[in-house]
Amino acid sequence: MQVRITRAHTALVFAGITTLTLPAIAGTPAAIDRVPTDAPVVFGINNVRSLLADIDQFNLMLGEDANAEMMMGVMMIRGMEGLNLDGSAAFVVYPDMEDDHANLGEDDDDDHDNGDDEGEDHDEPTMIAIVPVSDFAALTHGREPVNGLVSYPLPEDQTGYFRDIGDGFALFGNDPEAVLGFDGSKGRMKANNTLIGQAGQGIAGDSDIFMYVNLAEMGDEIQQAREGMEEQGQMIGAMGGPQAAQGFGSFLSAFDSIVEDGQAFITGVNFDATAGVAFDVGVQFKPMTKSEGYLHNASANARQYLNHIPSGEYFLAGAMDFSGKGVQHLLSDFMDQAEKQDTQGMLKGLNLLGMAKNAKGGAQVLGASNPMGMTGLLTNLYAYYESNDNDAMIDSLAGIYKSADGIDAEGVSISSSFDEKGTDIAGTTAHAYKVRFATEQQDMGGMMNPQMISQIMFGPNLGPAGYIGEAGGGIIQTHTTDQNAYTRAVQAAQGKNTLGALDLVEQSASHLQDHTVLEFYFGADHTLNTVGPMLMMFGVVPEFEQLAPHAPIAMGFTADGGGATMRTWVPMQVIGSIMELVPEEAMNSINGGGDDDEMDF
């Protein structure tokens, strides 16, 4: 039996999934103990009551655009007697199952082939819900089980089926054979935690709702997805040429590595109506695989390097920690491979491998600028790096700039220089460097004047130019010849007036994971203040008012315990400003405009 679900119903489900809030609950929720270890796709909810409260908050935020069906669904769930609203829940999804459900969910080592083709194929997934109950009899209105199942009326003349599995949990689904055949035994928590690993447990514990995929159980679906990507890659290669094809090939190679070495894919959402939304994505890898070997960096602390770059308005800032043994292993392998592929010897003598091995970490910030003023978008780029050998790193940087001088390829000629002696600025030896790109219009296939592009990016220098020196125990680099800017970089390297000390940056940083190897901070306020007037000028938005300072959108990456995670934190203030900027007709489309088409679930 299939449930017919309209687009409005689908919007309700997805809105519920992506607009949840409750205090983070440490550890994997109890309902996962009842999930079979061979379950291919699993959704988990930490607390039903908090989920419903947060859907209420979401509808309150929408105001006049609140979803009536969503509110009705919340009321129906709250009105279900015997449902334990303070418990956790799980939803197990089996894609394209056959009708033989006799062994559904039993943990075994076979290939899940039913052995015959007599069963009717399902065009849609089968989903079994593991729901928390306080009184099964009250939940089912005292109905007696028939063949172990209790039928339950659903809207639109449909029927669901409950089965009591004891100790505060029951199964629910719309396919009676699937519900009856599902093995909801206790004792799977340890095995499931091993499957999702450190990456998955961290996401499950910090999320209001999460999902994990057992990659070993999704081989057919993954292969189909890859075949589709290969077809897209052929189109990209035909339209974009050899470089585009090579780039897509690298993407496929990374995809294959994840599939081959990966154990579980995990994603989660945490919503706080007063603060913001966190989106988590992670992969746990199989022990002793090549990919897993890169993911042991327990001491990582990328955030510390934000305390060495200048504060002020900015577009983007990033910090990285290269000191972990896993990251060092990755950098070493990458540099080895790059040097092997360097058939023209362009990397020879640059000691990039040595730079990678000595690198400890660093940070960069792209400060505020007016791209329409032709002063150079990148002239306010500041960088700070720490190395086990600062002198050797400066020597390597000098080699890079000197080796670039005289390069002439594909219509671009480069002239560059590096002042090895240096100049005294702010009590440091500042080495001036300069790179200039020269291009011919006819060499660029009639595209935008490349000299204009260079001026937009780098200003009148038509290429990177600035100073490199030592300060605060690390190496600083500016991309402007303004000595005052270099002085600010020196002061920041010494811990004065740094980006990391800004209250709004600290607010967003507090919502990221601990022990990050990478962090990024996107200054949405300054970006919107820069593009907003242009959008108004071109009629995209009717009006625009300059925004007050906002906490930044933040991203954090961890790489430890054999798994990798990425969290994106979006402050509620940023969401509100973007919603105000989006035209009303676009918001109406997002909130359910268009045809109410039906689909099978």
Q: Is residue 51 part of a domain?
A: yes
Domain boundary among 198, 223, 248: 223
Q: Is residue 430 part of a domain?
A: yes
Helix/strand/coil for 257: helix
Q: Is residue 515 part of a domain?
A: no
Could you tell me if 200 and 349 lie in one domain? no
Could you tell me if 70 and 177 lie in one domain? yes
54: containing domain = 4-107+121-223
Domain boundary among 480, 500, 520: 500
Q: What is the 3-state secondary structure (H, E, C) of 5-27?
A: EEHHHHHHHHHHHHCCCCCCCCC
Q: Is residue 280 part of a domain?
A: no
Report residues of the chain scoring pLDDT below 50.
1-25, 99-102, 108-122, 444, 594-601
427 alpha carbon, distance to own chain's centre: 42
How far, in Å, CA of 540 to CA of 581, rounded?
10
What per-residue confidence (pLDDT) applies to 10? Answer: 35
Could you tell me if 49 and 188 lie in one domain? yes
Instruction: Using the CB atoms, write b or e for 249-265: b if 16+ within 10 Å.
Output: eeeeeeeeeebebbbbb
How far, in Å, CA of 7 to CA of 596, rounded?
5
| Count of structural domains within the chain | 2
What per-residue confidence (pLDDT) applies to 116? Answer: 43
* Location of structure tokens 């913001």: 276
Contacts of 391 (CB under 8 A, 6+ apart): none
What per-residue confidence (pLDDT) applies to 383? Answer: 97
From 26, 8, 17, select the one nearest 211 (Cα to Cα). 17
Residue 246 structure tokens: 């090579």
Q: Is residue 463 part of a domain?
A: yes
What per-residue confidence (pLDDT) applies to 237? Answer: 72
Contacts of 454 (CB under 8 A, 6+ apart): 437, 439, 462, 463
Q: What is the 3-state secondary structure (H, E, C) of 30-73?
A: HHHHHCCCCCCEEEEECCHHHHHHHHHHHHHHHHHHCCHHHHHH
Q: Report CA-CA distances (Å) from 557 to 32, 90, 321, 568.
A: 25, 27, 10, 9
Point out which residues pair with 469 in neighbouring strands.
476
Could you tell me if 438 and 326 lie in one domain? yes
Q: Is residue 460 part of a domain?
A: yes
Residue 470 structure tokens: 């030592």
Q: Is residue 420 part of a domain?
A: yes
Residue 419 structure tokens: 């002042």
Percent helix, strand, coil in the chain, to 5, is 40, 25, 35
Phi, psi of 117 (to 5 degrees): -115, 25
Could you tell me if 311 and 209 lie in one domain? no
Domain boundary among 471, 500, 529: 500
Q: Is residue 405 part of a domain?
A: yes
pTM, two decimals, is: 0.83
Q: Report CA-CA distances (Å) from 411 to 426, 437, 438.
A: 40, 10, 8
Could you tell me if 189 and 336 lie in one domain? no
